[in-house]
Amino acid sequence: TYIGSIVASVNPYKSIPGLYDGSAMEQYSKHHMGEISPHIFAVANECYRCLWKRHDNQCILISGESGAGKTESTKLILKFLSAMSQHSLELSCREKTSCVEQAILES
C-alpha cells in the first residue's frame, strides 16, 4: 500500500507470475503514482518522471529487515529505469530520423 510517496511491500518469498514482467512495466509507465494499485514500478516511474521531466535529483530509499527483499527491490527498480531509458532513447532516435527525413524531403 502507499503511505504518501512511500510504498510498503511484503516479500512473498515466491515468484508471482506477471507481477514484474514487461507488461507490468508498460502499465506502470503510463500512469502516475496512485492512479493504479501500489507497486514498486510506480515508485520507479515517479522517480523517472521527476528526474527527466522536472530535472529534479532523485533518491530511492529501500529499507527492511534481513531477508525482506531489499536487493530484489533494487534490481526491480533498476530494471524499470533501464527499460524506460532505453525506450526514451529509441523514441529520441526515431524523432531525429524523422526530422532528417523531413528536411531531405523539403529541400
pTM over the 0.85 mark: no
Could you tell me which residue, 90 or 15, shows the higher pLDDT? 15
Answer whether residue 94 shows pLDDT above 80.
no
Whether 66 has a binding-site annotation, put simply, is yes
Residue 70 annotated as binding site: yes
Ligand-binding annotation for 35, yes or no, is no
In this predicted structure, what is the pLDDT of residue 95? Answer: 66
Helix, strand, or coil (residue 50): helix
Q: Which CATH class is domain 2-104?
A: alpha beta
CA 104/CA 98 separation, integer angstroms: 10
Answer positive or negative: Cα dihedral of 86, 88, 91, 92.
Answer: negative
Answer yes or no: is 18 a known binding residue: no
Query: Would you kindly state where each structural domain of the chain is located, as residue ranges?
Result: 2-104
The CA-to-CA distance between both ends of the chain, in Å, stands at: 56
| Helix 40-52 × helix 70-106 angle, to 10° | 40
Q: Is 67 annotated as a binding residue?
A: yes
Q: Is 14 labeled as ligand-binding?
A: no
- Local structure of 101: helix, strand or coil: helix
Q: How many CB atoms lie under 10 A from the CB of residue 18?
A: 8
pLDDT tens figures, 53-82 = 888 888 899 998 898 889 999 999 999 999
